[in-house]
Amino acid sequence: MASGDELVRLTATQAVALLRQREITPLELIDAAEERIAAIDSEVNALPITFFDAARRIARRLPASAPRGDSHPGWLAGLPIVAKDYNDVAGQLTTYGSPIFANAIAKTTDITVATLEANGAIPIAKSNVPEFAGAHTFNSVFGVTRNPWNLRKSAGGSSGGSAAALASGMVWLAMGSDLGGSLRIPASYCGIVGMRPSAGRVPRGVGLQPFDTLWVEGPMARTVADVALMLDAQAVQSSHDPLSFPRPGTAFVDAVRNPRTPRRIAFSSDLGIAKVDPEVAEICRAAVLRFSTMEVIVEEASPDFSGAIDAFQTLRALLLATVHGELLKRERARIAPDIVWNIEKGLRLSIDEILAAKRARTALYHRVANFFDRYDILACPTVSVPPFPVEQRFPTEIGDEKLTTYIDWMSFTFVITLTACPAISISCGFTRSGLPVGLQLIGQSHGDFALLSAAHLLEQELRIAHQLPIEPRS
């Protein structure tokens, strides 16, 4: 039997292969994860909610093979995973990072978690999150999650606990969700891979607005291959999500087993909308130029994102007001001030502001669709700044430019949210101080397969993913 340290260093793809071959067991992996979490999570604070005994009960009942045989690409064969603390797991806490729900026990398991469980995943813990939404993982219930690469820095958010747990080897796959960049930003900051799939690719639970396309659920892992594996386990059609669509005929893992090289890639360091830290821009530019070694044409180009920042601010505020407006009336004093501001912004919106945002989003979608008639992939930095001090609520400036709201620094991800295009962040290099930098790759609408192919090819060229997992660093 392999040691716990050896097991936590496996990729998810390797671990699932060994599970399918009966060379290791789910119980061995649960033991290894529990040992690793006990050893290091006091420093990182990524997984404040654990339930190993419940996971072991599931492991003992798990069938020996997939419902359709072990060849089923989404069958995870008993792999332990982490759920996000926005997702319900029956019998466990769902706090949303809020003191209002600090003791709330979920009665049922939501559809996103249940889909993974049906495909052989075993939840063992829940990852720390910001209160309700945000891109820096801290809250008054469990405290702040720290970046394993430098414990004095932010792990990003809102899937920051998931990203930090992956980077430090506490788990092999983790759930994430994304409104303005919550899968991609923590992936960039923690040096892992986070993918925002096409809207409808992964069914969502009843707690979300069923006809909203801004908030999606998606996979997080240490490698692109592992993300593809997890997406195969998530991508199903569900009657509980009207936007969900059927599983594709070709498995996403085939995108990395038989990758297709893109022909033409566009790169922009700023998407024409915001300043970017010069070191981040240079690291990303150098990384995307590595596509040239594959005889891929790389050009400086970007769609026109004019109006996208204001449109997203409006539509995000509208969504938060729709979901949390009634809660604000009852619990204002116990809601974080940034979230209060955002909900109130939504409640004050005029019909003209809402119509303008919807029209701007429609126009943007068509401009981006036309752009992808020429280019296969758009690349840009995932985040405009490197990981910031953990004591800060959010970055307040980029260079000499002052930022006005708590999400201004996230613009490279949230304008992509508006397009409904799939996007992925992969680690592409490090700052001079040793902090990870993520490159965001964006594919055309419903182009998840081609996006995974391109991301895998670049990941293989950059040879960074093998550096994970890491020991927490002070």
Q: Which amino acid is at 180?
A: G
Determine which one of 127, 159, 177, 182 is catalytic. Answer: 182
Phi, psi of 192 (to 5 degrees): -115, -165
CA 204 – CA 61 distance, rounded (Å)? 26
Determine which one of 84, 126, 153, 345 is catalytic. Answer: 84
CA 143 – CA 42 distance, rounded (Å)? 11
Phi, psi of 282 (to 5 degrees): -70, -40
CA 82 – CA 160 distance, rounded (Å)? 12
- Measured between alpha carbons, how far apart are the two ends of the chain, in Å? 32
- CB-based contacts of 173: which residues, under 8 Å, 6+ apart? 12, 76, 79, 81, 82, 121, 166, 219, 220, 221, 226, 229, 230
Token code pair at residue 133: 């939404």
Answer whether 243's CB lies under 8 Å from 211's CB.
yes
CA angle 343, 159, 124 (to 5 degrees): 125
CA 242 – CA 249 distance, rounded (Å)? 20
Token code pair at residue 32: 């290894």
Task: Return the H-helix or E-strand segment holding 297.
Answer: strand 297-300
Determine which one of 154, 158, 159, 244 is catalytic. Answer: 158
DSSP H helical ranges for 203-307: 224-234, 254-257, 278-288
* Residue 182 is among the residues annotated as catalytic for this protein: yes
- CB-based contacts of 159: which residues, under 8 Å, 6+ apart? 84, 127, 129, 137, 174, 175, 176, 177, 178, 182, 183, 186, 187, 194, 220
Q: How, if at all, do strands 79-84 and 121-127 pair?
A: parallel
- CB-based contacts of 258: which residues, under 8 Å, 6+ apart? none
* Residue 158 is among the residues annotated as catalytic for this protein: yes
Q: How, if at all, do strands 143-144 and 138-139 pair?
A: antiparallel
Strand partners, 427: 438
Q: Which positions are annotated as active-site residues? A: 84, 158, 182
